[in-house]
Chain A
Amino acid sequence: KQEVTQIPAALSVPEGENLVLNCSFTDSAIYNLQWFRQDPGKGLTSLLLIQSSQREQTSGRLNASLDKSSGRSTLYIAASQPGDSATYLCAGIYNQGGKLIFGQGTELSVKP
């Protein structure tokens, strides 16, 4: 069964710290992996998409990596800010239909 896991479920860091969020998946036959941000009571905002042929993607202070052989993806956030506080979700796509399989998310709190 294809599963996506995110650990830890919650993380609290002081402002300015660099941090890494982890995502692991059970099936290495992944098409791509997408990272999202969700604010309380809101929808999902796409942050980064990594295709299976890529190893990483960068957008501003965010950098996402993908290692299919180890079944892991990481989201690196540089110089964290209180505005980065949100739940971060990773999701894998395994087939042509493009159906996402989501992790449970990591709730990030950045303290001023």
Chain B
Amino acid sequence: NAGVTQTPKFRVLKTGQSMTLLCAQDMNHEYMYWYRQDPGMGLRLIHYSVGEGTTAKGEVPDGYNVSRLKKQNFLLGLESAAPSQTSVYFCASSAASGGYNEQFFGPGTRLTVL
């Protein structure tokens, strides 16, 4: 099993550009999450999904959109990137059962917005 994978690993954008980050998991997990990690702020939840076709907002959703068209994939989109979105983005997944199961994280995407 590859676990949770993320593409790309690194990306540099100019202000106003758009991009999509892809997260894929091969563990047949129901729940998937997008977090961002910033120095001094820790990890914060952006959006999450409790199943195919469903998404919900987390703590810091502004400026991001997500889609979960397939159970194994969770996409994070930035429509118009801003320097404040410079961060390391992590995707995670867990089995169902109301959050009692472990969350497994991907290796992260390091995004710089100039």
Contact = CB atoms under 8 A, between A and B. Distances in A.
Q: Do A and B bind each other?
A: yes
Interface of A: 31-32, 34, 36, 42-46, 49, 51, 89, 91, 93, 95-100, 102-105
Contacts of B58: 99
B102 A49 contact: yes
Of the listed residues A43, A51, A89, A95, the one surrounded by the most CB atoms of chain B closer than 10 A to its CB is: A43
B103 A46 contact: yes
A31 B104 contact: no
B72 interface: no
Contacts of A103: 42
Contacts of B94: 98
B56 A97 contact: yes
A51 B100 contact: yes
B48 A99 contact: yes
Contacts of A89: 42-43
Interface in B41-65: 42-45, 48, 50, 56, 58
